[in-house]
Chains A and B, each alone.
Chain A
Amino acid sequence: MYPFKKPLDEIQKRLLKEIADLHKVPTGAYNIRSNGESAGRQSTANIEIVPKPEGAGLDIYVKPGTKNESVHIPVVLTQSGLKEIVYNDFHIGEDCDVVIVAGCGIDNCGIQDSEHDGIHRFYIEKNAKVRYVEKHYGSGDGTGKRILNPGTEVYMDEGSTCEMEMVQIKGVDSTERVTTAELAAGAKLVVRERLMTHGEQNAVSTYVVNLNGDGSSADVVSRSVARDTSFQKFDAKIVGNAVCSGHTECDSIIMDKGRILAVPSLEANSTEAALVHEAAIGKIAGDQIIKLMTLGLTEQQAEEQIINGFLK
């Protein structure tokens, strides 16, 4: 485990494992935020983590040319009624190749709502490559809600690449996620979002991607499952302002009384912009369930396998 300033309790450790797969000290830089304060931080020779005043977030500086290094910045909340807004700014130098793992786990056993609004801003310089992984997880049986409203802003310089993997599978009652990106010439953005909502959960995911430079491209794909009486809205807009290519796709399964609203949109401001959107919503196909039942699975087991695969 991390060398913590304050030892984490079992619930906090479990949350960390869920959102960041961390059970050992990661190599590289990290900052762990627990109930509004830093519980452990480490910079490296190439990656410097600098706290903003009054715990309002972090500035993370990655030196130009840094390769194969990682930054972990997980957040855990176990205190019912805690609401926080955090700004983390990532400054990625030219020609870097780094992995950033973020994520937030909330365990709320109390009656008051707990909320974490993380605003992540990425300034990715020329030809740098970033892989960003973000996982959200909620647990606890209190009546207080677990609320996460992540904001992500990506500013990509020429020839840079950013791959984002955003996952929210369980336990978060309410999410409003807004992701915006500005791409210069030759920049490439790939987004893979996976979302499952259950109970009475509500999730809204909005993307606005501006393809401003020639040769820029974006591929934004969301796969989601809405169960019980949950509701999801996927609103993805790609704007082509140059010779560019953009693709957005929303592929969803609805179950029970779940509801999904998909609003893919495209805006072409250049005749050279090639933009495509796809959206499909439907229940699990009956023949998929039957095929797995002929292998000996029950109907329920078959459904689970199909959903697990779909969200993998």
Chain B
Amino acid sequence: MLEIRNLSFSVNDDSSDKEIIQNIDLVIPDNKLIVVTGPNGGGKSTLAKLIAGIEKPTSGSIFFDGQDITNTSVTDRAKMGISFAFQQPVRFKGIQVVDLIRLATGKDISIADACQYLAEVGLCAKDYINREVNASLSGGELKRIEIATVMARQTKLSVFDEPEAGIDLWSFQNMIQIFEQMRASIENSSIMIISHQERILEIADEIVVLADGKIEK
């Protein structure tokens, strides 16, 4: 369970403070799929980055399974069981898809096992497993690989930042299946998805609307 208490985040913009997240309280219980939606610029991605530890809050605190993680690093949060799928996946020259999946699982898994994860995100594994995660991959391909790295981690909390962006129609049905499978296969796990997509909103246990840095009831 993730609990956010009175969380705020501001940036210094032209010598005045701009509040991106304002005094948010939010609970993501175990066994729930929460979708965070709302207008662009409302603070959704920032909230996801605060949960992953990529950004540090100006004030307030974050608890994960009862432990205060407000000041812990990205690495420590990852090890505790928080995963984060980037909205814009990162490219790496020279690192192959199989390397990235192995790093995600934290084990030296076989090629066949790594291929399994690619197959689940709808990529023909043998065509991709040895490709470099570089600019030769399209946005949609990178996005699916990004989802595969989060799946491979099998963590208690998975945060997806607009997973549907750049993904074609394959997708919706498959992607929704992936989320359902993750919930079923990882005990007491929860998923937070940032999305505008109606069909993703439909599968949510709870919908949170974030606008101007505040949660709208």
Task: Name A residues whose Cβ lies closer than 8 Å to a Cβ of B.
Answer: 223, 251, 285, 287-288, 290-299, 305-306, 308-312
Contact = CB atoms under 8 A, between A and B. Distances in A.
Interface residues of B, number: 24
A76 to B, nearest CB: 29
A301 to B, nearest CB: 8
Contacts, number: 58
Interface string B87-109: 00110111110011001101000
Given A288-B90, A295-B104, A311-B94, 15 more contacts: A251-B93, A290-B54, A291-B86, A291-B89, A291-B90, A292-B103, A293-B75, A294-B78, A294-B83, A295-B78, A295-B100, A296-B79, A297-B75, A298-B75, A305-B103
Contacts of A309: 92-96, 99
A109 B206 CA distance: 67
B95 A305 contact: yes
A169 to B, nearest CB: 14
B163 to A, nearest CB: 15
B62 interface: no
B74 interface: yes
A287 B90 contact: yes
Contacts of B103: 292, 295, 297, 305
B52 A312 contact: no
Contacts of B86: 287, 291
26 contacts: A251-B93, A285-B90, A288-B90, A290-B54, A290-B74, A290-B90, A291-B89, A293-B75, A293-B78, A294-B74, A294-B83, A295-B100, A295-B103, A295-B104, A296-B75, A297-B75, A297-B103, A298-B75, A305-B103, A308-B94, A309-B93, A309-B96, A309-B99, A310-B93, A310-B94, A311-B94
A295 B94 contact: no
Contacts of A298: 75
